[in-house]
Amino acid sequence: MISLKKFDKVFFNSLIDKEKILLGENFFTVFENKTKVGIVGVVEPNFLQIIIKKEFRSKGLFEIIVNLIMEKMNLNCLSATIDKDNIASLKACKKAGFKVLSKAKLDLLRKKGFLKENQVRMIKNISEKQHKSLYSIILFLGL
Ligand SMILES: CC(C)(COP(=O)(O)OP(=O)(O)OC[C@H]1O[C@@H](n2cnc3c(N)ncnc32)[C@H](O)[C@@H]1OP(=O)(O)O)[C@@H](O)C(=O)NCCC(=O)NCCS
């Protein structure tokens, strides 16, 4: 069972790739049963920050964790800024239902200086209906 608990800074500092993460207020340690497997957080207004411990990657945890944090923080929409060469992150986001913004929107963000040339912005939207049914499933499973 995956759960989100109090942020553990010492654990975070032990993680490979921690420099990719911008820390903020709303951060949690991710547990798989009693084992710490990663860190997840949302930076204002709705930017995902996530890092999974090396040996727990490529097991599909990303999607579960994204759905959990959206429920926990009551978010209908989550954004991710991803380096174009971060293939694992691009693949994980796609599998979890994120969509790359249109070229016009990406160009505008780049023009305004909100996005670098080597980055893309992806967004996951869930409808009110999906949000409620996801919440029921999470309550039912006791996650
Ligand atoms: C990004 C990250 C959170 C993804 O988590 P995850 O739980 O491993 O994601 P998933 O299990 O959904 O799998 C990712 C996919 O990328 C694939 N992948 C991983 N590394 C890859 C690589 N170097 N090249 C190509 N594909 C790769 C995996 O095989 C998997 O694809 P599959 O399901 O088709 O087999 C994790 O890789 C990580 O912590 N990275 C370092 C921190 C980071 O980059 N955070 C994101 C900042 S936006």
pLDDT band per the 50, 70, 90 thresholds, residue 126: confident
Specify the residue for token string 């999470």. Answer: 138
* 17-71 confidence digits (pLDDT tens): 999 999 988 999 999 999 999 999 999 989 999 999 999 999 999 999 999 999 9
pTM of the predicted model, to two decimals?
Answer: 0.90
Tokens coding 69? 């944090």
Spacing, Cα 85 to ligand 1 middle (Å):
12
Nearest residue CA, atom 32 of ligand 1? 58
pLDDT band per the 50, 70, 90 thresholds, residue 136: low
Spacing, Cα 118 to ligand 1 middle (Å):
18
DSSP code string of 63-104: HHHHHHHHHHTT-SEEEEEEETT-HHHHHHHHHTT-EEPPHH
Tokens coding 92? 């994980």
Share of the chain above pLDDT 90, in %: 83
- What residue type is 87 in one-letter code? I
The residue to mutate among 53, 57, 122, having the most atoms of ligand 1 within 8 angstroms of its beta carbon, is 57
CB 80 within 8 A of CB 47: yes
User: Does the beta carbon of 89 lie inside 6 Å of ligand 1?
Assistant: yes
What is the pLDDT of the chain when averaged over all its residues? 92
Domain ranges of the chain: 2-141
What is the CATH topology of the domain spanning 2-141?
Answer: Aminopeptidase (3.40.630)
pLDDT band per the 50, 70, 90 thresholds, residue 142: low
- What residue type is 135 in one-letter code? Y
Nearest residue CA, atom 21 of ligand 1? 88
User: Does the beta carbon of 83 lie inside 6 Å of ligand 1?
Assistant: no
User: Does the beta carbon of 52 lie inside 6 Å of ligand 1?
Assistant: yes
Specify the residue for token string 């986001």. Answer: 93
